[in-house]
Structure formats: structure tokens, C-alpha cells
Amino acid sequence: MRRVAVIGVGVTKFGRHERTSAELFAEAAADALADAEMPASRVQALYYGNVVGGETEKQLHTGPQAASVLGIPTVPTTRFETACASSHAAFRHAVMEVASGASDVVLVGGAERVLNVPTADSTEYFAYASDASWEQTLGLTFPGVFALVARAHMHKHGTTEEQMAAVAVKNHRHGVLNPKAQFRKEITLETVLSSPKVADPLKLYDCCPFSDGGAALVLASEDVARTARRPIWVLASAAASDWMLLGDKRDLSRVPATERAAAAAYRQAGIGPQDVDVVELHDCFTIAEIVATEGLGLFEPGAGGIAAEKGWTSLGGKIPVNPSGGLKAKGHPIGATGAAQICEVVTQLRGEAGARQVEGARRGLTHTLGGNTATVLVSLFGRD
């Protein structure tokens, strides 16, 4: 297997857009190609993440559409849908294509447009990533899923609402430093704790927003990457799955798929969590970040809330988590999220993150969760 590097990244501003998801992806992809100093004619394959294009844009065949808008209609395209982990899954398969020798240059990313439909509709569409036979018919949406996770974690480990709120405060503080973030304003602990309840114990500021946006990156084989200005090497990329139904999960305070994907990624890279300098992880809800820091081995089970409360995951802390602002402040255009996380880690490892730069970062980790914890992708990156 050949070594693979990321040689170009591009991300749109997240928030409300009046353009299609294909147009948003094309903007990010053009930026990624320019960053890589690579003409679009060099791209040999496109791997693309999109989730609700059929519902919000009446567009199912989104891969060729994205390639067409970008101006490379004859490039083979594959669309991935693994709920919120879609473009991270696309990335993993693109890595395998380059590593195998099938292609030397592959474009990968994703996009989503959901703010063109009412909130009630987008909430329903997101819930399609849960079981249709039982959970959807009973009215369970994702705030309810993670409220159950929060209650389980609180019961087992004593995690508090204040500790969850600390995650929101931290990620909004980081988001202020990110010009592409949807929310660029600081909030206080009291703001979070006094905000309206969405699904007890989760409140409005415990929840990430709906977002439009796109993200893209250029992958290259080692021979091509060696001629690039700033290659960041893919050290590992692993996937894991778990039971779909919540009722089949034995312990809602854990995400076993995160634990399995992380273990596989560390094994591939030959490193451990203690070797990671910066992390972009899936904080769709504040409790999700706490559970993920534990599942990734950054903290012992039950210590994730304490870590957030004590500032260990803040910029300047023991292990900075979500310096981009995370899904909570940067935004969560679901088809683009995984690719955007990778773009942030690459930017960090290049030393180009500006005010949110993690000093001396050499190795980074991305973690993306899909649906009701049934899909997880974990990837590791490093610079020479």
C-alpha cells in the first residue's frame, strides 16, 4: 500500500446560503485544488458526501451533479451516505483508492443544503438516519437520542449540566477565531444553562445548528505529494459500526463504535491517544463531545465532563478539542462535516490556523459520528 497525503483543502463559510449543495461543493473544491496547485484535469476520481439532497433539493444523483458544476463531468464519481459521517466515509474510501495504486490524485468532500426548508422538515429528514420501524414512528429525533445518552452518562458517571455547558462555552470561544464559522460569538455558562430546553437535559445551547456549506480536499500518492508544498500524511483511517436501534445498545453512556474505530486507527498508525496534539470530533450535542473524548482514549470513562470543566480541552489545554469551533459553533452541514474536520486538522498541522493555532501540532485526529451512534469514522494525520 502506498502512502497517501492531503495536499489541498477548501471550506466554504458555514451558515445560510442561497446556492445549491453542488455549487457549495464546487466552491470548496476549487479552493482545495488551488491550494494544492493542481488543475482539475489531474483529478482521477471524486468521492462525495451528501445526505438529504433528495429531500431538500429534490436531487438524488448528487455526485455527477457536483462534478458537473465543478467542470469535470467525465471524472468517475461516487456519492456516500452514512448520515453525518458521509464525507469522512468518502475520505476513507478515497484513501484506499490512492493507497492501492488505482489513482494518484482524488478529490473528496461533501456538501449539504438544509436551511432552505423549515426547521420541522429538516428535523424530520435528519431523523431518517434512525430506525423507521420503531424510533421514527414513536417520534424520536436526534435531540432525544442524545438526551438519553446524556441521562445515561449522568447516571453512571455523575456528569453535570454545568460540565456539558462548558463544552458549548469552549467551542463558541474557539468559533470566534474561525472566519468560516457559523456562530462567531462567545457565550457564558449562564447563557447555556438558562436557554430553553430542547430535550431534557439538553438545552438550546447544547445543540449544534442546522447549516449549509461545503468542504473538499485533494488526496495524492506519495510521488505526487512529494512535489507539493505542504503535504500532510494520512497515518490511518478506520470505520466501525454498532446496533442501529437504541434498544439494542447495552450502555448508552458509551459509543462502542468510537472505541473500535479509534483502536483500529491507533493500531494502523502505530501511535496512541497520548501522541495526538489536536482533535476535531463530533460534537453534534455537548454530551457527544464528552462521550467521544472518552471513547477516543483521551480521558478515562467518566472524566470527559471534568476535562471540559477544567479547560483541558481548550486551546492551550492538555489536548485541544475542536479548535475550529466544532459542529456547535462552526456549524454542521452534515454531508460536509467529516471533510471539514479533516481540513481543519490539516490546517493545524501545517501551522496555518492563525489565532486558533495549536502550537507545535504534529499529529491530529478526526472523529465523525453518523446517525444514532451506529457509524463512526476515525482518521489520524501527521507531518514529516
How far is it, in rounded angstroms, from Cα 287 to Cα 104?
Answer: 40
Compute the distance between CA of residue 50 and CA of residue 63 in angstroms, rounded to an integer.
Answer: 8
Give the separation between CA 127 and CA 149, rounded to whole angstroms.
16
As a three-state string, the secondary structure of 159-213 is: CCHHHHHHHHHHHHHHHCCCCCCCCCCCCCHHHHHCCCEEECCEEHHHECCCCEE
Whether the CB-CB separation of 102 and 27 falls below 8 Å is answered with no
Coil, strand or helix at 241? strand
Residues 6+ away with beta carbon under 8 Å from 133: none
- Beta strand 375-382 with 363-370 is antiparallel
Sequence-ordered strand ranges (E) for the chain: 4-11, 45-49, 77-80, 105-112, 197-199, 202-203, 213-221, 232-241, 278-280, 363-370, 375-382
User: In the structure grid, which three cell numbers stand for residue 49, read together?
Assistant: 458526501
Q: What is the DSSP letter of 59?
A: -
CA dist 1 to 40, 101, 141, Å?
Answer: 25, 8, 41
208 included as an active-site residue: no
Residue 76's region, left for phi above 0, alpha for psi from -120 to 50, else beta, is beta
Burial, 195: exposed, middle or buried (Cβ in 10 Å; 0-12, 13-18, 19+)?
middle
From 84, 207, 208, 343, the catalytic residue: 84
332 is catalytic: yes
Q: Of residues 17, 157, 332, 367, which has the active-site annotation?
A: 332
Alpha-carbon distance 257 to 248, whole Å? Answer: 14
Return left, alpha or beta for 282; rule: phi > 0 is left, psi -120 to 50 is alpha, else beta. Answer: beta
Ordered DSSP codes for 337-361? HHHHHHHHHHHHHHT--GGG--TT-
Peptide bond into 320 cis (omega under 30): no
In angstroms, the CA 22 to CA 303 distance is: 41
Catalogue the active-site residues. 84, 332
